[in-house]
Amino acid sequence: MGDRVEFARMNGLGNKILIVDMRGRKDRVTPEAAIALNADPQTGFDQIMAIHDPKSEGTDAFIDILNCDGTKAQACGNGTRCVVQALAAETGRQTFTFQTVAGILNAREHEDGTISVDMGKPVFEWDRIPLSEDFHDTSRIELQIGPIDDPVLHSPSVLSMGNPHAVFWVDRDVMSFDLERFGPLLENHPIFPERANITLAEVTSPSSIRTRTWERGAGLTLACGSAACAAAVSAARTGRTGRTVTVDVASATPPGILTIEWRESDDRVVMTGPAEWEWSGTLDPATGMWSRDEAPLREAGSLGL
């Protein structure tokens, strides 16, 4: 194997994911490698999901998550579904338990190919999201962009799904807003000391919402699973929907739907949706140098080990 490791290019509703197999190794995918991989149009990504040997008893792997700017991410729901599909094809198993810096994630591949991930419990306390100011009610905080008397976006719901999120409610098509301009301003607003994922959400029925997300450390993204969870939880928390909704991820290519259930029994959020295997190859986790397999010899979805 030398210095190279197996990797697969996958996507979850268009959210570009690189699955990198670091099992049996002590090193990690470096920020420099992540930046180099993202700079290449063929390997450009939203998140790297690096699979490491388990650190805790009862888990199947530790997942190290990197954004395309080389920074660490705490959670990635779409990427976790891709990891499940890859490992399910490799092992024949359907259920997995992963550890991330955000905690333990349980996941299952269903017979129809969709994958459910238990994303854990939402966090609403201002200092745990975290925010830089004390807000007693984080279902609606004072934050806006645009003129004071006619803001373009205002009063987001904020929470953590293992990573910080701000959900701005809009009453027209989420694609009609210039999120590419507003996103970086809001992501880096002083109210978010660890930056934040910025989502526009439109309620389309009592059981459905439509979202578009500027992702922390990745920018305008085709899809973001943890943001879909944050929007679904916030919709239920503010009385806009029930606790189970379908989320139409507006930017997804092809268009895609996630089902999000915020369970009343244990307060946990379960996300269900697809994952797609594209191609595989090998890469150097230190430099990001890579090569693509010449022929699709591996089963789709498998890392082939």
Burial profile 270-287: b = 16 or more Cβ within 10 angstroms, e = fewer: bbbbbbbbeebbbbbbee
Which of 68, 76, 82, 229 does the annotation list as catalytic?
76
> Phi and psi (nearest 5°) for 78?
-65, -40
Q: Is 68 a catalytic residue?
A: no
Q: Is 82 a catalytic residue?
A: no
- CA dist 137 and 143 (Å) reads 13
Cis peptide before 254 (omega within 30 of 0): yes
Q: What SS3 state is found at 279?
A: strand
Give Cβ neighbours of residue 171 (< 8 Å, ≥ 6 apart). 202
Distance CA 206, CA 236 (A): 9
Sequence-ordered list of residues with C-beta below 8 angstroms from that of 304, at least 6 positions apart, any chain: 6, 90, 280, 297, 298
What is d(CA 13, CA 251) in angstroms, rounded to the nearest whole number?
9
Percentage helix, strand, coil, to 5, in the chain?
15, 35, 50
- For residue 26 the two structure tokens come to 């002590």
Q: Which residues are catalytic?
A: 76, 224
